[in-house]
Amino acid sequence: MLFIAAPLAVILVSLLIGRYPVDIGTVVNVVFCRITMQSCNIEDIYQTVVWDIRLPRAILGAMVGGCLAISGAAFQGLFRNPLVSSGILGVSSGAGFGAALAIILFHRVAAIYTLAFVFGILAVVLSYIISRVYNGTPTIMLVLGGVIVSSVFSALLSLAKYLADPLNELPAIVFWLMGSLASARYSDIYIAGIPMLIGVSGLMLIRWRINVLSMGDREAHSLGINTSLNKAIVIGCATLATAGAVCVSGIIGWVGLVIPHIGRMLVGNDNRILIPASFSLGAAFLVIVDDFGRILTGSEIPLGILTAIIGGPFFVYLLKKTKGGGW
């Protein structure tokens, strides 16, 4: 229950926060009117700020944070390695290059989303193909494939930056790579929401199997599961969720690595609980960080910067408090 309530509460609170002052009564009224489809006599400006600007941004933030964290948790289990994050198979590097390409070639937001998503998926598919040198997909080869693909796409991204027009395109690429939710609209939620929803639902359904997969291929096989198929499902779902998140938000580091750890400290390592907890924590965390990004300074601070600056000390605090949670 808390896992559902916490992100919702955070989203509601974030409706109050921003440069244009809206008091809590107005927020509650706007949300109530809109949900019950009643017309209400609140000034349009309030309705726009709360319902059309802050709410989609908070919802998208929650979805992006949740997706990055849940994929990170799933990959950590799959790769049997707590240092793995949602970008391990190259999805972020691929998406980064795709976005840069779109900025240079097309100058359109829709193209950025599309190419970022497509190249994010493409990177993971390439990593997967590289890993299939033997029968099956040995974990170590997957990681190696991810490293190779990531570095190739990073190089291509640098090339794109090098070739970009330094006055308009280069800043656009750099800002995209820092991650932001500033342009969030409902249409983003609907479009990017589809892969995110599919990915998250898949991971939620298969979450107990991730425990079994984390025993290693040979043991998982002897316990009676088809390791190649199950791994492919987990990778596919985590990739859909991450690519869907990254293509609308840009590169947001840290969440996919550290939120699962915070989850491990709070609820333990059983993926039955850890997977939903990671989603919930990631969602709440990113919305909060985004709120800080909006109010800390006059102009917005990009999300990718703040996640680490706020998340780092918080993580250290948790480490001290829980004594590492069994590691």
Partner 1 sequence: MALLEVKEVYFKYPQATILENISFHIEPGEVFCLLGPNGCGKTTLLDCILGWLKPYSGQILFNGCPIQDMSAPQIARQVAYVPQIHEKTFPYLVRDIVIMGRASFIGPFDTPSAEDWAIAEKALDMVGIYRLKDRPYTQLSGGEGQLVMVARALAQNSPLVVMDEPTAHLDYRHELMILETVVELVKQTGLAVLMATHVPNHGYYFENQGIRTQAALVKNKQIMALGKPSEVLSEQNLGQLYHIKTRIIDCQLDGEALLKQVVPISTIDHRSS
Q: Which is nearer to partner 1, 52 or 217 (CB)?
A: 217
CB 227 within 8 A of CB 209: no
CB 256 within 8 A of CB 242: yes
- Nearest approach, Cβ of residue 265 and partner 1 (Å): 11
- Nearest approach, Cβ of residue 63 and partner 1 (Å): 22
- Three-state SS sequence of 1-14: CHHHHHHHHHHHHH
Report which of 178, 326, 306, 179 is spatially closest to residue 266, judged by C-alpha positions: 326
Q: Which is nearer to partner 1, 23 or 219 (CB)?
A: 219
CB 119 within 8 A of CB 129: no
Footprint of partner 1 (CB under 8 A): 77, 80-82, 205-209, 211-212, 214-216, 218-227, 230, 233, 264, 268-270, 272, 325-327
Q: Which is nearer to partner 1, 47 or 211 (CB)?
A: 211
Token pair recorded at residue 178: 């820092």
Q: Which is nearer to partner 1, 49 or 143 (CB)?
A: 143
Residue 321: other Cβ atoms inside 10 A: 10
Taking each continuous run of H as one helix and of E as one strand, the counts in the chain are 15, 0
Token pair recorded at residue 26: 């107005």
- Nearest approach, Cβ of residue 77 and partner 1 (Å): 7
Q: Which is nearer to partner 1, 151 or 222 (CB)?
A: 222
- Helix/strand/coil percent split, the chain, to 5: 75, 0, 25
- Nearest approach, Cβ of residue 224 and partner 1 (Å): 3
- Nearest approach, Cβ of residue 256 and partner 1 (Å): 17
